[in-house]
Chain A
Amino acid sequence: MIRLRPVGLALLVMLPVSLVAQDVTARLAGRVSPEVRQAVAKIASDAATRGLPVDPLVEKAIEGAAKGVPADRLIAAVRALEGRLGDASAAVRDAGLTAPDGDVVEGAADALNAGLSASDVRDLVRVSHSPYDPALTLRVAATMAALGVPATQATELVEDAIRAGRSTAELMALPSQVQADIGRGATPEQAAQGLARAAAAGRPAVPPGLEKKGKPANPHRP
């Protein structure tokens, strides 16, 4: 048994958070203003304390600086992203993933940003049992929502594909098919309905050449 004094315990807890702040400060050096760097390091430390991924916050700060966004607006956007990551993490945990990795939390945050609700996120995570990666299914639904498909409809389309035992490749092909139908003049809603009808009728939902069976390498993380 190790006996620690309260001061030692506090130092042990503070050490990783302090390292996060140092790492974030180093990564942002020369890329953002000192004001933004200091604020983002603080936000990232808070996020790390809550077990949230820090990389998206750093990347958002770099993006904002590259786009010439004023400091106050940039900091607000990073803070909003931290809030969204927190909401995403809570939704994923509610769905039964007690210790989600950063990819899943980030995927859920992207899904929320694309218009999915926390309830949609919970539903998708619950049905995403192996071999389906919840981070991937969340991104498929989020991409369809970004194409204009109503969030609930996008969620149901992915859920139905999983329940029907579609392969991961077929799942990943859904947004491309929606986009192709939009290109042919359909509304996003009509495109999603067409895919749902095709799935119900048992027709293949994947274009020729993409019928690869099995789970490919996780493609949702650069």
Chain B
Amino acid sequence: MMAGYHALVKQVLDGERSLADLPLDLRAEAEEAVRLVHAVDRAPVTLPAAVEERVMAAVREHAASPARRAWRWLHAPRDVELRLRIRPWMVWGGALTAAASLAILLTRPTISSSPPETRVASRDTVLVRFVLYAPGARRVAVAGTFNQWDRSAAPLVPAGTSGVWTTTLALRVGQHQYAFVVDGERWVADPGAPAVDDGFGRRNSLMAVTAHGGRVL
């Protein structure tokens, strides 16, 4: 390794100094170094023509592809110079803002975990009784906007063998559309309520729930 040679020996290898200029104790090392350097083959390297053709073909392929050029343009890392000029008042302003934010975070009152919406919702909920006379029905339910039209969410209970089915639901104040579902498949509008076209060829019953209870409106 060249790093192991004495500096004077390196000067001999570089042609800056002759062997005769060296001290006697370095001459053997210098002669060995010169011998190794002369042993290296310094003939010019010539590549086969096929290798040159292959390399140039690859270069031309890369240069001719717009997609590759665009991809390289998008992905090639670039040096970006970012100049930021900060004035002293900006530094002070930032520091004051950070301090104020921290003070607000540390001194704000603890938020109660009880959700107020729940209490409001309970005040706005009214019990409404649904009644349908359906003799011979095996099961009856009521479905509407208040239960996402789920035909199994609100079953009615038969009142003995009279054919009268009833249930009581807690509904939110507002206007609702609904229908009874008889035997799980037959949709029946409430005969005791106004009804409108449901858009599917059937009728939906209308009911408004107010603070006074369920009513026509």
* From B143, B145, B210, B216, contact of A219 by CB (8 A): B210
Closest to A147 in B: B194
Chain-B contact segment, one of A6-14, A18-26, A69-77, A120-128: A69-77
Q: What chain A residues lie within 8 Å of B215 (beta carbons)?
A: 175-176
Q: Which of A163-222 contact B (CB under 8 A)?
A: 172, 174-176, 178-179, 210, 216-217, 219-222
Q: How far is the CA of A147 from the CA of B189 in the complex (A)?
A: 13
Q: What chain A residues lie within 8 Å of B208 (beta carbons)?
A: 139, 143, 172, 219-220
Chain-A contact segment, one of B24-32, B54-62, B87-95, B173-181: B173-181
Q: What chain B residues lie within 8 Å of A175 (beta carbons)?
A: 194, 215-217
Closest to B173 in A: A219
* From A59, A67, A110, A143, contact of B216 by CB (8 A): A143
Chain A proximity of B15: nearest CB distance (Å): 64
The answer to the question of B197 belonging to the interface, with a C-beta cut-off of 8 Å to chain A, is: yes
Q: How far is the CA of A216 from the CA of B174 in the complex (A)?
A: 12
The answer to the question of B133 belonging to the interface, with a C-beta cut-off of 8 Å to chain A, is: no
Q: How far is the CA of A67 from the CA of B178 in the complex (A)?
A: 12
Q: What chain B residues lie within 8 Å of A42 (beta carbons)?
A: none
Chain B proximity of A189: nearest CB distance (Å): 15
Chain-A contact segment, one of B71-79, B97-105, B161-169, B199-207: B199-207
Q: How many A-B residue pairs have CB under 8 A?
A: 90
Asked whether B196 lies within 8 Å of A110 as measured between CB atoms, the reply is: yes
* From A63, A67, A113, A139, contact of B175 by CB (8 A): A139
Asked whether B194 lies within 8 Å of A222 as measured between CB atoms, the reply is: no
Q: What chain A residues lie within 8 Å of B148 (beta carbons)?
A: 31, 62, 66
Closest to B212 in A: A210
The answer to the question of B22 belonging to the interface, with a C-beta cut-off of 8 Å to chain A, is: no
8 smallest beta-carbon distances between A and B, as pairs: A222-B174, A146-B194, A66-B149, A77-B199, A175-B217, A175-B216, A147-B194, A143-B217
Q: 17 A-B residue contacts at CB 8 Å?
A: A31-B148, A63-B200, A64-B199, A66-B143, A66-B151, A81-B199, A113-B196, A143-B194, A143-B217, A146-B194, A146-B206, A172-B208, A174-B217, A176-B217, A219-B175, A220-B175, A222-B174
Q: A: which residues have CB within 8 A of B?
A: 31, 59-60, 62-64, 66-69, 73-74, 77, 80-81, 110, 113-114, 139-140, 142-143, 146-147, 172, 174-176, 178-179, 210, 216-217, 219-222
